[in-house]
Structure 1
Amino acid sequence: MSRTLLVTGGAGFVGGALIKSLLTEYSDAVIISLDNYFTGSPENHVNDPRVTYIDGSTVDIAKIWAGRGLPAPEIVFHLGEYSRIVQSFEDHDLTWDFNLLGTKEVVKFTAGHGAKLIYAGSSSKFGNDGEDENLNPYAWTKAKNIEYIKNYSNWFGLDYAITYFYNVYGPGQITTGKYATVIGIFERQYLAGEPLTVVSPGTQTRDFTHIDDIVRGLVLVARGGTGDGYLLGAGNERPLAEVAKLFGTEFVLVPALRGERTRGQADTAKAAELGWQAERRLDEYVAGFVAANPR
């Protein structure tokens, strides 16, 4: 008998990479992706008969699952939420629907099937001694979901583990549009021969984590993690201006953005208990990118 794994947001940057890994790590599994394709793309699909891609909303997860007669999942990787800070002011309603309404249904669905929930929390909740969770709609909804998951487990029973991503980068990242990632934007601007745009003041720090390390962390947490606190980051604070300098080209400062935090660095102690640590370095990644694309 094969096991069933569900990945919400499976057509996204992290979800697509996770599914590739799950196909190897769980050789007996069939994998279902549920994605509304808000930022996900068919380009991230894996061409494998063991993977089924469903276009739908997490709000309707129970109805979608029952309508297709799918077997009960063993693990639910919940990555399918709204995940941008600055844009969440403009997309307030979407942030509410995707993150609060959708996650409520995913939690209920997971518990109802006796599955284990692996939730992708947001590292934004740790900024400024926890005060930054109220800086913007995105951080606030993600922080409330952590509270909800813990309470639901106490109220009704739920096997869960919560991970936190720190500025994920690597192959497959979004490089264009308002949902592009920092390293994705820098790469696009570099290839176009444009100066890199660094948000003022440029001294704010971020902890950048390669997609391969994130995916490896998710698998380890799924296998042996329990409860809250699995921070997946390199553990290094890097000022954004210094990151831009790694590309060896000109950069310019642009106006500060609403709702952004000033510092970011992961405390990886709990993830380390599972044998996880970041193996990929940002400076080596950027050096490889620049070497492969000389200007």
Structure 2
Amino acid sequence: MRVTVTGGAGFIGSNLARAAVADPQIDQVTVLDDLSTGLLTNLDGTDVTFIEGSLLDPRALDEAVAGRDAVVHLGALGSVPRSLDDPVRSHQVNATGTLLLLEACRRHRVGHVIVASSSSVYGSNPALPKSELAWTRPMSPYAASKLAAEAYTLAHQTSYGLPVLVFRFFNVYGPRQRPDHAYAAVIPRFVHAALSGDPVVVHGDGTQSRDFTYVGTVCDVLLEAIRRRVHHAQPVNLAFGAPASLLQILEELEDQLGHRVPRRFEPGRVGDVAHSLADDRLLRELFPAIDPVGRRAGLQATIRWMADSPRTLAQLR
């Protein structure tokens, strides 16, 4: 089986590429990435075919998907704050880029396409847990762009018979997640600050909760979906209904590190939702064999990787 991973030099993509290379059912792994946020070093020592190119370049897309059996589309401009700074760019990459990729897959008769969406599409819907059948109301340009991407993906399945699977990711964390840019996610920022002895910056009062999911579990689900060519008529939450508040994450970090982590509270950010919790019934129905990595083990692996990584401490201070 020949598989392409867009955004494969990024956090989730590089973890997936490494896992795919080790999978005996996958013969070839191709990565497409423009390196705007990903790092080529994430793929060091990994036997992949690397194509440096943009989702907005049809020639790069043709090269990346021609002759492939499956495509996992993880390439995107993440971050709510980034989309607030430049909503047009977020739309171009996340919505238009997805449409162009789907068209390339259709031209080259790719047999299976998996697309990453986001729990942010639920937005201002207060219902918990978040069901895939619940109404969506994006609160940021990023969320709106991901909702557009998943709508185009499902429309291609209905209109053209392209087998697709849309996952709504919920706050994925783990090794290779960068803490060193303005739009870094919460767990890598917390872990990096704690290891560096710096105060952790908490936006809001810290009681906001997220359904954190370890990247290894996400890769297990994605690989199982590739192997079995799982497709579905609606989006699927990729989280396991195990939320934690930001203050709880800090307490767990303190417990594992064995010392107090100083914190500095700042105003909440525009576009952030208060609570996020997945209804995981459909996920477990489609992937009953998946055993998710617990938060304690996931945080241990994240701390260990960040402490051992030469990029994340001395070089980033």
Q: Whole-Å Cα distance in 2 between the matches of residues 70 and 144 of structure 1?
A: 22
Q: Whole-Å Cα distance in 2 between the matches of residues 94 and 110 of structure 1?
A: 23
1:281 maps to: 294
Measured against aligned partners, the alpha-carbon deviations of 1:100-131 in whole angstroms (never above 9, x if no partner) come to 22111111111222221100011112342566
2:28 maps to: 30
Shift of 1:283: 2.9
Pairing 1:125–2:125 present: no
Q: Whole-Å Cα distance in 2 between the matches of residues 244 and 86 of structure 1?
A: 22
Contact 1:229 1:270 (C-alpha < 8 Å) held by counterparts:
no
Q: Whole-Å Cα distance in 1 between the matches of residues 278 and 267 of structure 2?
A: 26
1:162 maps to: 166
Deviating more after overlay: 127-136 vs 144-153: 127-136
- Unaligned stretches of 5+ residues in structure 1: none
Q: Whole-Å Cα distance in 1 between the matches of residues 202 and 91 of structure 2?
A: 29
Q: Whole-Å Cα distance in 2 between the matches of residues 4 and 288 of structure 1?
A: 29
**TM-score w.r.t. structure 1 length?**
0.90
**Aligned with 1:106: secondary structure?**
helix
Please point out which of 254, 258, 273 is paired with 1:261: 273
| AA partner of residue 262 (structure 1) | A
- Unaligned stretches of 5+ residues in structure 2: 128-133, 255-260, 308-317
Measured against aligned partners, the alpha-carbon deviations of 1:129-157 in whole angstroms (never above 9, x if no partner) come to 56664200000011111111122222222
Shift of 1:69: 9.4
Query: May I ask how many residue pairs the two structures share in their alignment?
Result: 288
Pairing 1:181–2:179 present: no
Deviating more after overlay: 68-77 vs 84-93: 68-77
1:147 maps to: 151
Q: Whole-Å Cα distance in 2 between the matches of residues 81 and 25 of structure 1?
A: 25
User: Which stretches of structure 1, 4 residues or longer, exceed 4 Å deviation after superposition?
Assistant: 68-71, 129-132, 287-293
2:262 maps to: 250
| AA partner of residue 47 (structure 1) | G
Q: Whole-Å Cα distance in 1 between the matches of residues 300 and 4 of structure 2?
A: 36
Q: Whole-Å Cα distance in 1 between the matches of residues 26 and 239 of structure 2?
A: 30
1:212 maps to: 216
| AA partner of residue 153 (structure 1) | Q
Contact 1:220 1:276 (C-alpha < 8 Å) held by counterparts:
no
Contact 1:169 1:183 (C-alpha < 8 Å) held by counterparts:
yes
Contact 2:3 2:29 (C-alpha < 8 Å) held by counterparts:
yes
1:93 maps to: 88
Q: Whole-Å Cα distance in 2 between the matches of residues 285 and 33 of structure 1?
A: 25
1:72 maps to: 67
Q: Whole-Å Cα distance in 2 between the matches of residues 78 and 246 of structure 1?
A: 32
Contact 1:132 1:261 (C-alpha < 8 Å) held by counterparts:
no
Pairing 1:235–2:249 present: no
Contact 2:174 2:301 (C-alpha < 8 Å) held by counterparts:
no
1:171 maps to: 175
Contact 2:2 2:28 (C-alpha < 8 Å) held by counterparts:
yes
RMSD of the alignment, in Å? 2.3
Measured against aligned partners, the alpha-carbon deviations of 1:215-249 in whole angstroms (never above 9, x if no partner) come to 00111222332123322213112111221122222
Shift of 1:255: 1.0
**TM-score w.r.t. structure 2 length?**
0.84
Q: Whole-Å Cα distance in 2 between the matches of residues 172 and 69 of structure 1?
A: 23
